[in-house]
C-alpha cells in the first residue's frame, strides 16, 4: 500500500530537511555539493521553489524549480 502526499515548503525547517536529503543524492555529479549550497541559499531567498514528496510523513522525493535565468 502506498501513501504519498505532496506539499510546498511551509517552514524554514523544511529547507533544512530538504537540503539534508538532497546532499546525500550526489550520484557523483561534478560540483554537486556546491550546487546544494547555492540551492539552499536560493531556497531561503525564494528564488528557487520546491515540492516535497512524503510517504507516511517521511521525505522520499522532491522537485526543485526556478524561473528561467534569462
Task: List the CATH number of the domain containing 21.
Answer: 3.40.630.30
Residue 70: inside a domain:
no
Residue 32: inside a domain:
yes
Residue 58 vs residues 6, 52, 55: alpha-carbon distances, Å:
11, 10, 5
Residue 28: inside a domain:
yes
pLDDT, residue 45, reads 96
Summarize pLDDT for 21-56 with one digit per residue, the tens: 999 998 889 999 999 999 999 999 999 999 999 999
pLDDT, residue 32, reads 95
Domain carrying residue 15? 4-65
Residue of 59, 63, 67 whose CA lies nearest to 17? 59
Summarize pLDDT for 54-70 with one digit per residue, the tens: 999 999 999 999 999 87
The structure's pTM equals: 0.88
Residue 15: inside a domain:
yes
The answer to whether residues 51 and 62 touch, using CB atoms and an 8 Å cutoff, is yes
Question: What pairing do the DSSP bridges indicate for beta strands 58-65 and 4-8?
Answer: unpaired
Amino acid at each position: 500500500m502506498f501513501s504519498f502526499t505532496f506539499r510546498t515548503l511551509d517552514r524554514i525547517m523544511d529547507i533544512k530537511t530538504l537540503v539534508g536529503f538532497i546532499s546525500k543524492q550526489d550520484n557523483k555529479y561534478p560540483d554537486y555539493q556546491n550546487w546544494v549550497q547555492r540551492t539552499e541559499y536560493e531556497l531561503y531567498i525564494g528564488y528557487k521553489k520546491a515540492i516535497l514528496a512524503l510517504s507516511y510523513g517521511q521525505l522520499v522525493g522532491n522537485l526543485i524549480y526556478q524561473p528561467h535565468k534569462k
